[in-house]
Structure 1
Amino acid sequence: MLSASELADHLARDAEAVCRHYLSAGRRAGNYWIVGDVANNKGRSLYVHLSGSRAGKWTDAANGQYGDLLDLVRETCGLVDFRDVADEARHFLSLPKPERASSRRGGTPDHPPVDRPAAERARRLFGMTQPLAGTLGDSYLRQRAILRASLHPTLRFHPSCYYRDLVTGRTASYPALVAAVTDPSGTITGVHRTWLDPNGDGKAKVEDPRRALGGLLGNAVRFGFPLHELVPVMVAGEGLESILSLSHVMPTMPMVAALTANHLAAFSPPAACLRLYIAGDADAAGRQGIERLSRRAQAVGILPLVLAPELGDFNEDLRWLGPDQLTANLRAQLVPEDTMVFLPT
């Protein structure tokens, strides 16, 4: 099995091909590849040596980052564990994968094996993202009639997020909408990724374009959720886009997206909550999630109230019926005092 330094040397022998693949927004200038940064943005800050004794070495003059091509693969793909970085490099170089004994985790003298907790990996990935406004992620949500998503700090964009096919093992990178999953204190415990088609044609054409990483149980993606303040009324739902659609017409209502029906059932409302609106999807799993969360809310003295879409989910309502009709549908379901606060005329 090749060591980390040997993998880096193999990549450096064809440094320009590596740069063209992982830093496609850049260009060759003499003996250097010039690009904006490791996120593959256009610019001239980062330069990679393409030949000579320093072939494969790179530096970002804007922030002081530097490394070899193995480091570049790690950063551009948003990887954390060395095993994944090495697998990605071998895939690019068309090298066979090493045998791994079940009793031993992979590693090398240069890069000892590190099993980081999933929550730590999620926080690191979220730290590699950029603001959503004006990105392909923002455009994707606008196509779904969600026009103010960039106002939510829990939503970010990754221009080249690592993706592994869980069946074939093949790897690639796609733009991705990244949402932070947080606990009640606001600490990031996980992330949810929606990989996007680079040409703007909806989600990426892969088997499962949505995946979560980290600790979801009891936590959620939060919108308009004030930290360290009492939250007597809120909405909890399953899908990210469904909750964003409700937030579009009720921007001051605290809301959470639990991401799956099972995690919706396990969501923990804040202690001060008096009324919990549960936004359900019109399918069997969604109904079960509503019923289970309703029972848990009632057991701690919270009044559960169900919000039902007219179509399949609230994003379909927003897209096909329009915000006015969605607002009218919600006005008929909210408690009158909540209508006055969150759906004023």
Structure 2
Amino acid sequence: MNGPAAAWRFAVGIFTVFPVRPVEVDRAVAGRAMSLAPFAGLLLGVVAAVVLVVAGAVSGSPLLGAVLAVGTLAWLTRALHLDGLADLADGLGSGKPADGALDVMKRSDIGPFGVVTLVVALLVQVAVLSRDDVVAWVALVAAAATGRLAVTWACREGVPAARPTGLGALVAGTVRRGAAIGATLATAAVVAVLALVAAAGPSLLDYCWPFDSAVTFGYTSYSVRDLPPGNLYEGTADAGLRPAGLLHRLSDDPHLITVAGLLLAMAAGLGAAALLRRRAVRRLGGVTGDVLGALVETATTVTLLVAALLV
């Protein structure tokens, strides 16, 4: 079996703990599997998003839901991507030549660079997901997909492997540019649809107005959500009405805010991963399995962080 089914099984087997039947893998199958990587990320993101929403609702604590969601992602990936992030941080931080840095990355222990990098990344992820709003779950799905999409681009033609053996040698240079672009557009389309679903949720208005929840005209208080946008300007002379919520909005259309913000966050995540990949290739001579794992976590974390700033 060497068709799409084999590629999908290889992608699921590489990126998740979900059981799949083993398949024979050559570079052609590996290339198709890396093109399917973001769809494995979507699957992971949906599962983690369910944990985020359910745990947060049952416990009444968004923070607990965020911790369990991030832990679920780590468990569903055997924590291999987190391990790769720590290993790459130690390798790049060692200051050694390429061979020495690769030797550092092969060690089973984690050095100070790796520990600090892991702590910061996990704290950022938990902090972003602990926001009590309806968009958190779709941001998690988008981030999980973007992390694996970063691998698709890291395996495109022209990107070398740092070692002659290992996962990096198998998948490096196997993805054609057209396939990477197609995977990107398809992933963005799915995220856009999910963003529209999230924007139509019942908590949308609370989300769009995170600052002033009520205003006062004379002796009567009104919810900001009950006022037409024009009144936000007309009542600014009243001491109880401040336009902070309006200044926070990017648009009067919440659907546009959510979709555009998440797509820009995905672009930022891919950009950060591209910069890290470029650094790793220059420093190590190519990509390895650890480098790919580091790209996953980097793109995931940056996507979540930018999503928190934009939506």
Query: Higher strand fraction: Structure 1 or Structure 2?
Result: 1
Query: TM-score under structure 1 normalisation?
Result: 0.23
Query: TM-score under structure 2 normalisation?
Result: 0.24
Specify which structure has the bigger relative contact order, considering alpha-carbon pairs within 8 angstroms and separated by 6 or more residues: 2
Query: Higher helix fraction: Structure 1 or Structure 2?
Result: 2
